[in-house]
Amino acid sequence: MIKIKNIHKTFDDMEILKNINFDVEEGTFLSLIGPSGCGKSTLINIIAGLEKATSGQVTVDDAEVKGTHTDRIMVFQNAALFPWLNVYDNITFGLKNICKNPDEIREKTEDILRKVHLSKFKNYYPYQLSGGMKQRVSIARSLVMNPRILLMDEPFSALDEQTRMLLHDELQQIWMETKKTIIFVTHNIREAVKLSNRVIIMGTRPGRIVDDIKIELSYPRQVADPNLTYMEEKIYKILKVEIEKVAREELGDEYSIKENSLSRDYNNTMGGGI
Ligand SMILES: Nc1ncnc2c1ncn2[C@@H]1O[C@H](COP(=O)(O)OP(=O)(O)O)[C@@H](O)[C@H]1O
Ligand SMILES: [Mg+2]
């Protein structure tokens, strides 16, 4: 169980996160969604132990998070692979620090390569890979460490739509098989609804929790499922208030979102335009 207790974060006197409180049960696929700048990355970095909260506490099974740990591994938007190492060696790089048995390293790596469908590409170097393949390596490199918690900060937002959908299916499959706790940051509503069984909606200025929604639909989920569309609309309505607030601050008081223009954009981009 992860417990996020009374997290506050300020940067240069600016209140970034205010009074963040929630618990995450083992095996949850949780999405954190909110407008750009609302503090999603700051929050996930605090959970990862990469950043310190100004006050408050994160605990994992009652142990306070005081820094990074191989129990909690982060996958970033940019895969950041080592360019001089091939796929196989990129995946084993971290594993070699925690596992000294060569047979075990090989077994674990081959297994993970199969899971992310990269067995045929294990000798390729990062420059020979597409964006989607690089992100698969990044996920594999994290999973091979067998963390209890996988933290993902907009891992697919730099990918084209088709690749993103493929990776959704793969991640969904991996989660169904491993039942790892996943905390997944996104600003894409459809992605959040398709993948997760719980969505925490964040508002902005200061970053805070506005809603916490369960998505009780069975897996594997199909993107065309009308129940998903229903949930997307529900979340969109809640988020719209926050998006409008940011737009007014940035564009002036007279600004208001035109119902049609935004929903059209939202449909075309899978909610990526918020
Ligand atoms: N190291 C930092 N120093 C000062 N301000 C920061 C720093 N990191 C983030 N911020 C500010 O905190 C706010 C939230 O940022 P971030 O967590 O990256 O939001 P999100 O991931 O939701 O887009 C933004 O206004 C950003 O400018
Ligand atoms: Mg971010």
What confidence score (pLDDT) does residue 255 get? Answer: 65
What confidence score (pLDDT) does residue 31 get? Answer: 97
Adjacent-strand bridge partners of 212: 200
Q: Which residue has a Cα nearest atom 26 of ligand 1?
A: 37
Give the HSE-up count for residue 274: Cα atoms under 13 Å, Cβ half-sphere: 31
Per-residue pLDDT of the chain (274 residues; tens, 9 = 90+): 999 999 999 999 899 999 999 999 999 999 999 988 899 999 999 999 999 999 999 999 999 999 999 899 999 888 889 999 999 999 999 999 988 999 999 999 999 999 888 999 999 999 999 988 999 999 999 999 999 999 999 999 888 888 888 889 989 999 999 899 999 999 899 999 999 999 999 998 899 999 999 999 999 998 888 999 999 999 999 999 888 877 777 777 666 666 554 444 444 455 554 5
What confidence score (pLDDT) does residue 262 get? Answer: 44
- Domain range summary for the chain, segments of one domain joined by +: 25-51+61-71+147-268, 80-145
* CA–CA gap between residue 203 and residue 210 (Å, rounded): 6
User: Which H/E stretch holds residue 87?
Assistant: helix 87-98
Q: Supply the DSSP string of 116-166, one letter for each residue.
A: TT-GGGTT--GGGS-HHHHHHHHHHHHHTT--SEEEEESTTTTS-HHHHHH
- Closest ligand 1 atom to residue 38 Cα is 22
Q: Which residue has a Cα nearest atom 9 of ligand 1?
A: 42
Q: ω into residue 35 within 30 of 0, thus cis?
A: no
Residue with tokens 């996943």: 182
Q: Which residues' Cβ are closer than 6 Å to ligand 1?
A: 11-12, 16, 34, 36-42
What confidence score (pLDDT) does residue 258 get? Answer: 61
Q: Give the residue, out of 7, 15, 41, with the most ligand 1 atoms within 8 A of its beta carbon, to mutate for a pocket test.
A: 41
* CA–CA gap between residue 148 and residue 256 (Å, rounded): 43
CATH architecture of 25-51+61-71+147-268: 3-Layer(aba) Sandwich (3.40)
What confidence score (pLDDT) does residue 257 get? Answer: 61
- Closest ligand 1 atom to residue 153 Cα is 21
